[in-house]
A and B are shown apart, each in its own frame.
Chain A
Amino acid sequence: MSSTEWADHPLAQLTLVRFREFWREPEAIFWVFIFPVLLAAGLGLAFRNRPPDVLGIAAVTPELARSLRQEKLLDVEQLSAPAAEEALRTGKVALLAAPAPGGAVVYRYDDTNPEGRTARMLADGAIQRAAGRADPVPSSDRLMREPGSRYIDFLVPGLLGMNLMGSAIWGMGFAIVDARRKKLMKRLIATPMPRHYYLLSFVLARLLLLVVEVGVLLGFGAWVFQVPVRGSLLDLALLCVLGSLAFSALGLLIASRAQTIEAASGLMNTVMMPMWIVSGVFFSAQRFPGALQPIIRALPLTAVIDALRAHMLQGAGLAQVVPQLGVLGVWLLVCFTLALKLFRWR
C-alpha cells in the first residue's frame, strides 16, 4: 500500500483534520503544552527548598548570649529586658532567654508556635552544653534533600494528571459541539463516512498528541527540577493512555447532547472544577475529611494522579496501582457506553 493510498483512508483523513484544527489554533497549543510547563515552573520556583530558617531569639545578659551563639541555627540578639519583651511580643524574636535566681534560666515563648518550640529546644541544648553537659548517646546528622520528596516532585504528577483531563475533555468537547452547532456533523453523516471513524479519529489524534504533551511536561520537570520517573516508561505510557481514554469518554459524554459551546463549557467546568480542588493536584487529597475519602478516591483525576505519583516517585508497577486502574476502567466503560446511547449527530 503506497503512502498516498494510506493517507486517503477516511480514518487517516479524519485524524489529519483533527491535527490540522489543533495546530492551527494557537490558543489550544498554549493551554495544552505551554500552560502546564509555566505552572510547573512558577510553582516549582515559589516552593523550592530553601536552607533551614535561622530563628531569631533575644538574650538579656551577655553570658546567656555568648552561650546561645554556639548554636548555628539561632540568631541571637542581646537586648535590655524591656526591649526583649517588646521584640518577643511583636514576633521579631521567637524566644526570650533571661536569667533567674540561683543560676537558672527562664525561656519565654509561645508554645503554640512551632518556631517557639524549636527555639526552646535549640536554646536549651546550647545552654546546657555550654554549662558542661555531656550527651550520653553520641549522635550525628545525615541530611536528606534529594529529588522525590520535594514539593515539585509532588506537583509534577498532579499537573500531568490535570493536563490529561483538561486536554481530553476540552479537546473532545469543544470540537464535537462546534461541529454539531455548525451542522458539519450532519453534513458528514450525509456521506458514506462510517460513524465510528469520526469518533475514533478523536481518540487517535488524542493519543498521538498525548506523546508530545506528556513528553514536554515530564521532560521539563526532569531537566529543570530533576523530577524523577522511577517506574518503567511502558507502565507510564499505559497509565497515561488509560487516563486519557477515561477522560476522553467523559468528554464525549459531556459533548453528547450539548448544542452550544456555552452549554458545553458550562458542563465541562462543572465536571472538572471539583476535581481540580479535591483530587490532589496541588496539595494532598488526604487533607479532606475521612468521610469524603471514598468519594474522592472514586474520581478519575484522583485515580490518575495517585497512580502517577506512585509510579514516578515510588517506582510502583501497574500491579501496585490496580485499584486506580480499576477506577479508570469503570469510568471509561460507563461514560463511553452512556455517550454512545445519548450521542446526537445533529
Chain B
Amino acid sequence: MGLDAERARRVSAAGRERDTKHMSGAAPKAALCVRNLRKAYKDVVAVDGLDLEVRWGECFGLLGPNGAGKTTTIEICEGLTAADSGDVEVLGLLWNAHATELRQRLGIQLQETQLSEKLTVMETVRLFRSFFRRGPEPSEVIALVQLGEKRKSRVGSLSGGQKQRLALACALVGDPDFLFLDEPTTGLDPQARRQLWDLIEQFKLAGRTILMTTHYMDEAERLCDRVAIMDHGKAIAVGTPRELIASIGVEQMVEFSAGGAAQALDVSALGRIEGVHEVRTENGTVRMQVTELHQAVPALLDELDRQGVPLTELRTHSASLEDVFVILTGRHLRDE
C-alpha cells in the first residue's frame, strides 16, 4: 500500500504541479461547475435543473438510486452527451470551445465498456496511451492498478475486478487532471470492491480531482469528500457525508422485529420514548431514529416487555447516507 501510494504520487506529480498553477492566478475557482443543467429523453426527464460544484483536489460523489440521473449527469460533464440547457464548465473550459484540450486532460471510466477481449492488458493500455500527448509509461500504470502479472493476459481472461482495474488504468494513462468514474465497483464482489477503493484512495492522496457516481452508500462514505444525493434528476442534498448525516438530526438507527407478535405492537407508544424521533414499520420490521442510544434502548426493552411483545431481532447502527436518503425521499437507495 505504501509503495503503491508512492507510485501513485509519482505518476501524478506532473498533474499536481499543473493543478497548483491553476489555483494561483486566473485559475477557475472550481474544477467543475454545473449550473441549471437539464436533459430529457423522449418521455423521461433525466436531469432536472441540477447545480453542482466540484472543488480542486476533492473526490465528489453523485449518490442516488438507479434512474436518478447520475450517469446522464456525468456523461454530460464528460462531453459525451449534449445537455438540453444549462452550463457545464470543466477545468474552467467549455465543451463546445475546448473539446480537444479537455479530452487530453480528462480521465474517463464509463459504466459498461467492454474492452476488446482479444487484446492483452499491455496492448490495451498502450493503445489508450497512444491517444494522449503525455502520461506515464503503460507498464507503470499497469503496475499501479496491480495488473503487472496479468500484463500479457488477454482481456477476455480477466475477472470482473481485474477488468475494472484495467478500465481504471485506461482512464489514468493520460495523467488526467480530472478523473470521472461511473459506478466503478458495481457488480464486483466485496474483495474486488475493497481493492478498487484502495486504488481510488491512492489517487485522492495524490491530489487528483475525482467525480464519481455510485449507488452504494458505503462507497460514497468511504471515498467521497463531498456527496450530492440525487433523486429524480435533482440534487436533494449536498455536503460532506458527515454533514449530511448530521443534518437529519439523529445519530443512531434502531431496528427490531417482533415476529408473529408484531400485530399486537402499539407503535405510538414507542414514539413517546425519550430520544426516539421517528418510528416506521416495514414488512414486520420497526425502524426508529434515535439520538441517545444508551437511554433509548433500555427504554424500548422496557416498553416491549410492558406490551408483552417478544423480540426476535434487534440491531442498531450509526446513521448512514442510506438513512439520509430514506429520510429525504421515503425510499431506499436500491429500491428501484
Measured CB to CB, the residues of A under 8 A from B are 8-10, 12-14, 16-17, 20-21, 24-25, 179, 182-184, 186-187, 189-193, 346
Contact code string B96-126 (vs A, CB < 8 Å = 1, else 0): 0000100110101010111110110001001
Q: Known contacts being A20-B118, A189-B80, A190-B78, is A183 close to B110, with CB within 8 Å?
A: yes
Closest 9 CB pairs between A and B?
Answer: A182-B114, A192-B103, A13-B130, A187-B113, A24-B118, A191-B131, A190-B108, A193-B131, A10-B130
Q: Name, among A25, A183, A189, the residue most crowded by chain B CB atoms within 10 Å (CB to CB).
A: A183
Q: B114 — which chain A residues lie within 8 A by C-beta?
A: 182-184
CA distance A8 to B122 in the complex (A): 13
The answer for the CA separation of A189 and B128 in the assembled complex, in Å, is 11
Residues in chain A near residue B128, CB distance under 8 A: 191
Known: A20-B118, A24-B118, A186-B110. A13 touches B127 (CB 8 A): yes
Whether the Cβ atoms of B103 and A191 lie closer than 8 Å is: yes
| B→A interface (CB under 8 Å) | 78-80, 100, 103-104, 106, 108, 110, 112-116, 118-119, 123, 126-133, 170, 174
Q: What's the minimum C-beta distance from A12 to chain B, rounded to whole angstroms? A: 8
17 A-B residue pairs with Cβ-Cβ distance under 8 Å, sorted by A, are A8-B126, A10-B131, A14-B127, A17-B123, A179-B116, A182-B114, A184-B116, A186-B113, A187-B108, A187-B170, A191-B131, A191-B132, A191-B174, A192-B103, A192-B104, A192-B131, A193-B131
CB-CB under 8 A from B126, the residues of chain A are 8, 13
Q: B110 contacts which chain A residues (CB < 8 A)?
A: 183, 186-187, 190
B102 to chain A, nearest CB (A): 9
Q: Which residues of B contact A193 (CB under 8 A)?
A: 131
Beyond known contacts A183-B112, A187-B170, A191-B174: 4 more, CB 8 A cutoff:
A16-B123, A17-B127, A20-B118, A190-B110
Inter-chain contact A184/B113, CB cutoff 8 Å: yes
**Whole-angstrom CA separation of A186 from B167 in the bound complex:** 13
- A25 contacts B132, CB within 8 Å? no
Residue from A12, A182, A192 in contact with B113 in the complex, judged by beta carbons closer than 8 Å: A182
Question: B131, A20: Cβ atoms under 8 Å?
Answer: no
Smallest CB–CB gap between A10 and chain B, Å?
4
Q: How far is the CA of A17 from the CA of B127 in the complex (A)?
A: 8
Complex contact B119–A20 (CB within 8 A): yes
| B69 smallest CB distance to A (angstroms) | 18
By a CB distance below 8 angstroms, the chain B residues around A190 are 78-80, 103, 106, 108, 110
Return the contact of B174 from the options A186, A192, A346 (Cβ within 8 A): A192
Q: Which residues of B contact A9 (CB under 8 A)?
A: 130
Given contacts A189-B80, A192-B174, are A21 and B116 in contact (CB under 8 A)?
yes
CA distance A17 to B118 in the complex (A): 9
Tell me how far the C-beta of B232 lies from the nearest C-beta in chain A, rounded to whole angstroms. 25
Given contacts A10-B130, A13-B127, A14-B127, contact A186 B104 (CB under 8 A): no
Find out whether the CB atom of A192 lies under 8 angstroms from the CB atom of B100.
yes
Closest residue to B81 on the A side, CB-wise?
A346
A237 CA to B150 CA in the complex, in Å?
A: 42
Report the nearest A residue to B127, measured CB to CB.
A13
